[in-house]
Amino acid sequence: MNKNKIADSILSLADSIEEGVFKSNITIAVTNFGSELGIDNINNAIMQSKSQLFNIIVVGEPLEGFESYKACGDDEVAKVLKELFDEKKIDAAVTMHYPFPIGVSTVGKVVTPAMGKEMYIATTTGSADGNSIKAMILNTINGIIVAKANGIENPTVGILNIEGARIVEKKLSELSSNGFDINFIPSKRSDGSFIMRGNDLVAGTPDIMVCDSLTGNIVIKMFSTFQSGGFYETTGYGYGPSVGHEYDKAIFIISRASGTPLIKNAIKFAYESVSGDIVGISKSLYKMAKEAGLDEIINSVDEKKKDNIEDIKIPEAEIVTESIGGIDILEIDDAVLHLRKNEIYAESAMGCTGPIVMISNENLEKAKQILEKAKFI
């Protein structure tokens, strides 16, 4: 080390002691191009974050007092960010747009009303897989990665009651049985399943709420703007970091309607995630998941054979008074056909917690056994 570097190090240490703040080596790029709320909205968040324990680089319109890289347009901003990552000049980025490849999705963080609990939404943008069932399985892993990087050692997991949730629950239970630790938490509603109701979303029952990215995107927007009229995001931490197998760029997404308070939180979210080694945890957990049969479980989503409706003779109609739940909406018709193939009359219906199969009292136990054997429940 030369004398100039030694002198700089001593001066930096002296400044840190005097200010009571010790800066890390973490550098975060923040883009200030494209906000619907104006450039000052973002610049204010950048300037108000300057005293934090990290360095900030500005990409877009140069900002006085910060190292800046001029870029105009989403494509140019994305190009500059990629170059900064490749050159190891930044550890994370906070931006309104980035073209993620399929296989990468973002995990947002909200603050739930009333209790003020932080909850991770897995996921909110991007797509872990083109198949929504497979994507939600991977989203669960992504959510666990982000929660662990932010200091939650054993985060609880719930699956939002949307299309595909029951299938995802079965596949995740299989992954868990194979040795990949998933800390499921039951719903606070009386049924107590791992499928989360709307009440659980508002209450923040799990640390991680699993859903598809389109649903997660809506959830983030509702939590962020419900106090501000819908067009100015004030609360929460944004749409979160990009995560995926072998993806090593921590890119935190905000929206063009994100306000200064939320952008400040997103910058803080980026710092805390990088400090918690989000990329390293991602590599480790994906390795563990694959050792527990993740690839085989993902591939098994496509393997289920459907009964041919033309080959099935509908049994004589019966009065159906009993119900069997726990079947996903995507499989309810197949479940009914499968029972009919086994000479049991069944009808599909919708209960208060989701789809159900209606069965006569006499056939209830037999029907359950058939559906369990075929892995519908």
354: pLDDT strictly greater than 80: no
DSSP H or E run through 334: helix 332-341
Closest CA to 326 of 196, 167, 130, 138: 167
The confidence score (pLDDT) of residue 5 equals: 45
pLDDT per residue over 279-317, tens digit each? Answer: 999 999 999 999 999 999 999 998 666 656 656 778 888
- Please provide the average confidence, as pLDDT, over all residues in the chain: 90
Q: Is it the case that residue 102 has pLDDT exceeding 80?
A: yes
Listed residue (122, 266, 125, 259) closest to 196, CA to CA? 122
Does residue 243 contact residue 146 with C-beta atoms inside 8 Å?
yes
Q: Where in the chain is the domain with CATH 3.40.50?
A: 3-95
Is it the case that residue 93 has pLDDT exceeding 70? yes
Q: What pLDDT, on the 0 to 100 scale, is given for residue 141?
A: 99
pLDDT band at 28 (very low <50, low <70, confident <90, very high): very high
- If you count DSSP H runs as helices and E runs as strands, how many of each does the chain have, helices first? 12, 15
What's phi and psi for 354, nearest 5 deg? Answer: 145, -170
Give the SS3 label for residue 375: coil
Q: What percent of the chain has pLDDT over 90?
A: 72
For the cut 50, the answer to whether the pLDDT of residue 276 exceeds it is yes
* Residue 51 confidence (pLDDT) above 80: no
Q: Which residues contact 197 (CB under 8 A, 6 or more apart)?
A: 161, 187, 189, 353
Q: Tell me, what's the pLDDT at 153? A: 96
Domain boundaries 309-373, corresponding CATH code? 3.30.70.1530
- Of the candidate ranges 18-22, 56-60, 354-358, the one whose mean pLDDT is the lowest: 18-22
The model's confidence at residue 264, banded by pLDDT at 50, 70 and 90, is very high
Judged against a pLDDT cut of 60, whether residue 272 lies above it is answered with yes
Q: What is the pLDDT of residue 254?
A: 97
CA 327 to chain centre: 23
Contacts of 340 (CB under 8 A, 6+ apart): 312, 313, 314, 315, 346
Task: Check residue 177 and report its DSSP letter.
Answer: H
Which residue in 225, 261, 281 sits closest to 107, CA to CA? 281
Closest CA to 294 of 183, 195, 178: 178
Distance (Å, whole) CA 8 – CA 12: 6
For residue 103, give the nearest of 131, 83, 75 by alpha carbon: 131
pLDDT, greater one: 266 or 228: 266
Active site residues: 352
The pLDDT value recorded for residue 345 is 92
Please give the sequence-ordered ranges of beta strands (E in DSSP) within the chain, or none if there are none: 27-31, 55-60, 67-70, 92-95, 104-111, 118-127, 156-160, 183-184, 195-196, 208-210, 240-243, 250-253, 322-324, 347-350, 355-359
- pLDDT tens per residue, range 124-174: 999 999 899 999 999 999 999 999 999 999 999 999 999 999 999 999 999
pLDDT tens profile 312-327: 778 888 888 888 988 8
Phi, psi for 78 (deg, rounded to 5): -60, -40
pTM, to two decimals: 0.84
Regarding the domain delimited by 3-95, which CATH topology (the fold level of the hierarchy) does it fall under? Rossmann fold (3.40.50)
Q: In the structure, what pLDDT confidence band is assigned to residue 212 with cuts at 50, 70 and 90?
A: very high
> pLDDT at residue 19 above 60?
no
Domain with CATH 3.30.70.1530 in the chain: 309-373
Q: How far apart are CA 307 and CA 187, in angstroms?
A: 33
